[in-house]
Amino acid sequence: MRLNMKRHLLTLYTRTPLHVGSGTSVDVVDLPIMRERITGFPVIPATSLKGVLLQLARETFANGKHARSKEIPDEAKLLFGAVEGEGENQKSNAGCVQIMEAKILAFPVRSLAGCFAWLTCPAALERFQRDTGRKVTIPPVNKDRVVAGAELLVGNQVVLEEYALELQPNSSNQAAKLAEELKDLCNDPLWQDKLPARLALVHDENFQHFVTTCTEVVARIAINPETRTVKGSAGEGGGALFNQENVPCETLFYSVLTVLPPRRKPDGDPSNPPNPSALLAELLPAENPPILQIGGDETTGHGLCETKRIELNKEVKP
C-alpha cells in the first residue's frame, strides 16, 4: 500500500534575538545556542518546534476552554499526538505531523555599506533545495570572493564585519536572480524590500565562520531582590555574571512539516473524518500567520519569530 504524504515548508524569521540553548558550557560563553554537530550552524531542534506548535494548537482549538488546562483538544492530539492515562493505563499516540528541525538559510552580519547583509552559502542552499524540492540558483563562489547585491558594494569589494571580499564577476545579476527565488519565503517588509540589494552568497567556510563568531553574546547578571544589588557582591560569595549567546534578529530558518493520514481511528462521525492538512492550514493560515515565541527568555521579548507556511507541490511516496 502506498502512502501519500503532503509536505509544507515552514519558515521562521526572527524579529527578536533567539536563544534555544544547549545547556551550560565551560567555554567563554556560559549559555551557548544549539548548533549542528558537523557544520556548527545554528539550529532549532524539532522537539522545540513541536512544543511551540502543540501549544499553538491548544490555544487555537481550545473552543473557549483555558488553553493551558491539562485537557488537550482533539485536533491538537490528531496533529501532534498525546500521552493519555496514568500508570499501567498510560497510552501514547503519535500525531499526523512529522516535524523537521529548523535549519538556517540566511544570517545577518554587519556590512560597511548597506547597514547589514543577509548571508547564505552553497551548502545551505543545496540543503534547502534537497529538503524542500524547490529549485534555486547556486552560483559557485571562491573563498576570497562574494556574490552580492548592489547596496553592499564598496568599489569592487564587499566588507562584512572586518573582512573585505572581492566581488565575483557578474555578481549583481546572480544575486538578483537568487534573491528573486528566495523572496517569497518571508512576508516581512524589510525582507521583501531589501533582500535583492542586500543578499550575499559566500563560501561555505566563510559562512561557517560568520555564524560561529557573529552571533550576539550578551552579559547578564542576577539581582538580589532584597538589596537590589548584584548577587555575589559585597561578600555574598560567588558572582552572578554570566554570558548568553543569541541568534540575532533578521535571521531566516526553515523547516519541513510532513502531514500523514491519521494513525488511529478518529472519534466522531466516521463518514466525516478529520482532515489533518486542513487542520494544519487552520493552525498556520496563509493570511495573518501567527507570531511564534521560540526558546528561552519569553518574558524579555526573546524568540519572537514571524512564520510563513508554503504548501510544497511535491508529494513523497515511500
Sequence-ordered list of residues with C-beta below 8 angstroms from that of 114, at least 6 positions apart, any chain = 149, 151, 152, 197, 198
Fold (CATH) for 1-20+46-100+248-318: Elongation Factor Tu (Ef-tu); domain 3 (2.40.30)
For the stretch 157-166, pLDDT in tens is: 999 999 999 9
CA 247/CA 46 separation, integer angstroms: 17
Report pLDDT for 243: 87
172's enclosing H/E stretch is: helix 171-182
pTM for the full model? 0.88
Q: How far apart are CA 10 and CA 196, in angstroms?
A: 21
Judged on CB neighbours under 10 Å (0-12, 13-18, 19+), 79 is buried
Burial 277-293 (b: 16+ CB within 10 A, else e): eebbeebbeeeebbebb
Flag whether pLDDT at 234 surpasses 50: no
**Higher per-residue pLDDT: 91 or 212:** 212
251-264 per-position pLDDT tens digit: 999 999 999 888 76
Q: Report the C-alpha gap between 171 and 160 in whole angstroms.
A: 16
Instruction: Give residue for cell 462521525.
Output: 269
pLDDT by residue (tens digit) across 61-98? 987 555 555 678 888 989 998 776 666 666 777 889 99
> DSSP secondary-structure letter at 165?
E
What's the pLDDT at 266? 57
| Whole-number average pLDDT of the chain | 87
At 235 the pLDDT is: 46
**CA 130 centroid distance within chain:** 17
Q: Do the strands 163-167 and 145-148 form a parallel or antiparallel pair, or are they unpaired?
A: parallel
Instruction: Say if residue 224's pLDDT is above 90.
Output: no
Average pLDDT over residues 214-230: 82
